[in-house]
Amino acid sequence: MKVIISGYGRMGHMVEKELAKRGIELAEASEDICSVDPEVAKECVVIDFTWPDAFKANYGFIAKHFKAAVVGTTGWNDIEADVFRAFEEAGTPLIYASNFSLGVNALFAAVERVSAMLKGNGYTPAVEETHHIHKLDAPSGTAKSLGKLVEANLGTEPEITAHRIGEVPGIHTVTFTSDVDKLTLTHEAFGREGLAAGAVAAALMTEGLKGVHEFRDLL
């Protein structure tokens, strides 16, 4: 498998290190994915950690030309249907996630189960997230995903609170409060390495895969 990184910022460099650790070939790291030679692209999986406007501008090229795509960029929910259609029509596998950390995906599973168990028993949910000051979106895509899971399974939309402090890699907390107790579920990232490891694991999953998939559904 060969990989091209789209977006060569902090996450791009982390992905590069993870690829090297696993002995996976990095064909190119690009700040402008649409400038990649289509003949090269068709042999490569692209791992995209850019920003919402960039992905919105680039997803058509990625779907048309790449062997497969792993997308960790968030903030494109408003065009989700168009993105999925583009990849499905092109026959290009897509794995996407609001967070590729295995720990966060375990949190997703826990929140889904707990929300369903507490439904109808008087619990008020809330989601709180804290990230570094460089993060562009607020609340985070992960917090929004947690909110959707709570709403779908508990039947109540949670309040989501976002904080931007220093260089915090990422903390996500979901609470369920009733008149008699409070349940708290928290994931704290110590760095971005977990995101890179999950994204590379997802890239390996694209071999022989068809269609559009959310990462947590493949775990």
The pTM score is 0.87
Nearest to 174 by CA among 189, 194, 159: 159
**Rounded Cα–Cα distance for residues 7 and 159 (Å):** 32
Alpha carbons within 13 angstroms on the beta-carbon side of residue 89 total 11
pLDDT digits (tens, 9 = 90+) for 1-48: 999 999 999 899 999 999 999 999 999 999 999 999 999 999 999 999
Tokens (6 digits) for 198: 């999950």
Residue type, 64: K
pLDDT digits (tens, 9 = 90+) for 164-189: 999 999 999 999 999 999 999 999 99
**Share of residues in the chain with pLDDT > 90 (%):** 93
Q: Residue 75 pLDDT > 90, yes or no?
A: no
- For residues 158 and 175, the answer to whether their CB atoms sit within 8 Å is no
The secondary structure of residue 195, as a DSSP letter, is H
Domains in the chain, ordered, with CATH?
2-100+194-218 (3.40.50.720), 102-188 (3.30.360.10)
Question: What distances in angstroms separate CA 210 from CA 16, 43, 73, 93, 166, one per listed residue?
Answer: 25, 16, 21, 5, 40
Active site residues: 131, 135
pLDDT score recorded for residue 178:
98
Identify the three-state secondary structure at position 108.
helix
